[in-house]
Amino acid sequence: MPNIFEFTLTNIEMVKLMAGIRANLVLQNGMVFEGVSFGAEVASAGEVVFNTSMVGYPESLTDPSYYGQILVMTYPLIGNYGIPANDYSIAANNYESDRIQVKGLIVSEYSIKYSHWQAEQSLAQWLKAANIPALSGIDTRRLTQVLREEGSMLGKIVFDEEIEFYDPNRENVVKNVSPDTVTYLGNGSKRVALLDMGCKLSILRYLLEWDVEIVRLPYDTDISKYNFDGLVISNGPGNPKQCPRPIEMVKQTIAKGIPTFGICMGNQLMALAVGANTYKLKYGHHSQNQPVKEVGTDCCLITAQNHGFAVNEDTIPDGWSPWFRNLNDGTNEGLIHHSGKFMSTQFHPEAAPGPSDASILFEKFMRLL
């Protein structure tokens, strides 16, 4: 029989979870879901969205596109392979930014015991160190049904204190995830400007595989002051219409004829820059298995996605065409100019997590430089 003083941290977590520190997820429509805390015991508010991925929670939780959101994982068991070392460098290939970006995490069952050759801590330890709340024991199937039927909505994780709801789509949240200074990466013969709206590190990893120097620019940079051979507009959180300055910068770059590639929010910003419109999806696309089809071909890709807004195809101007469409709901998944020099995808060609079917699109862009 083990000595009570020889308990591991995992044993201590188990005791605390069994003790049942209760907290509630309160939705804007008045519904309340009671769960057990396994993260930080702090209140938090944001937009509640669901993700249908089976794996990849370290990457998803550090994806800047989730800033301002409470993430619901539909896969019933989360935490079973733990968390790798806290190395947030580009080379480490473990995370998509330098910190956890979500406002909270909701799961059906949290796995206290974990096993993976890279694991150095539990998911609970990681969340607590970052001061992020998380609830287990929630009926995520029912919760997801509510979000699918009524649409993504605001919510809050509360313990004893009361807090207000928070809507990240009503303000510019990109400023919270974009870098403060200009940095240079790589030492290639071509220069690529990266307009960082909250760029996932895997985008940088793919770009650095090529013979390029990357100029990583804050979202509000006057990019006309820099010389570059191509522009990449990254993913990012929130409503693209809250970012008028990047829209103007993209418009100017396209007018100069400089090859441009937009990813996720970059797709939306490019659309707004050329005169098209965007709109809020009912519950967004947050998964690793979204099928998209290249318009005019039989080419289908299985893609990773994480967005709550989309481009209205009816507003795409002359000279531009839809590039991909989502085979689940028919929504736009990318734009391409008739010259072939300007293109964008709503999905993530870098995946992370997810399939790498679309990574070849980085090569398509690089060959334009």
260, 270 contact by CB (below 8 A): yes
Q: Which of 285, 307, 337, 348 is flagged as catalytic?
A: 348
For 340, counting Cβ atoms within 10 Å of its Cβ (0-12 exposed, 13-18 middle, 19+ buried), the class is: exposed
Query: Which entry of 199, 213, 243, 264 is annotated as an active-site residue?
Result: 264
Token reading at 167: 């809507």
Catalytic residue check, 264: yes
Question: How far apart (Å, rounded) are the C-alpha atoms in residues 180 and 121?
Answer: 30
Residue 188, CA distances (Å) to 40, 217, 229, 257 in order: 44, 17, 12, 21
Pairing of strands 183-185, 212-218: antiparallel
Q: How far apart are CA 364 and CA 358, in angstroms?
A: 11
User: What residues does 294 pair with on adjacent strands?
Assistant: 324
Cα of 369 vs its chain's centroid, Å: 27
Q: Report whether 291 contacts 253 (CB < 8 A).
A: no
The strand pair at 134-136 and 104-106 is best described as: parallel
Listed in sequence order, the residues at least 6 apart from 267 whose beta carbon sits closer than 8 Å to its beta carbon are 311, 334, 335, 344, 345, 346
Catalytic residue positions, numbered? 264, 348, 350
